[in-house]
Amino acid sequence: MRNICLSICIPVYNFGAFIGETLASIIPQATEEVEIVIVDGASTDNTAEVITSVQRTFPRLRYHRLEKKGGIDRDMAKSVELAQGEYCWLFGGDDIMIPGAIADILRQVQEGHDIYLCESILCRSDMTPIGKHNLLAADDGQVFDLGDHAVRVDYFSRARNTAAFFSFCSSLIFKKARWAAVLTDDKFVGSHWDHVARFFRIIPHGLRVKYLSVPHLSKRGDNDSFINQGIVNRYRITIEGFDRLSRAFFDSGSNEDFHIRRTMKAEHNLKAFLDAKLLCNERGLTEDLAVLDQLARTQYGYPLLSNHFMLFVYRFSPVALLRIAKPVYAFIKTKILSTL
Average pLDDT, the chain: 91
Per-residue pLDDT, 2: 66
Per-residue pLDDT, 318: 85
Q: Beta-carbon neighbour count of residue 100 at 10 Å?
A: 11
Q: Residue 72: CA atoms inside 13 Å, Cβ hemisphere, count? A: 19
Per-residue pLDDT, 331: 44
Tell me how far apart the alpha carbons of residues 219 and 249 are, in angstroms, rounded to a whole number. Answer: 29
Residues 6+ apart with CB under 8 A from 327: none
Name the β-bridge partners of 174: 88, 115
Per-residue pLDDT, 289: 93
Per-residue pLDDT, 24: 97
Residues with pLDDT less than 50, the chain: 1, 226-227, 328-329, 331-333, 335-340
Domains of the chain and CATH, by start? 6-223 (3.90.550.10), 231-339 (no CATH)
- Residue 113 phi/psi, 5-degree rounding, is -70, 165
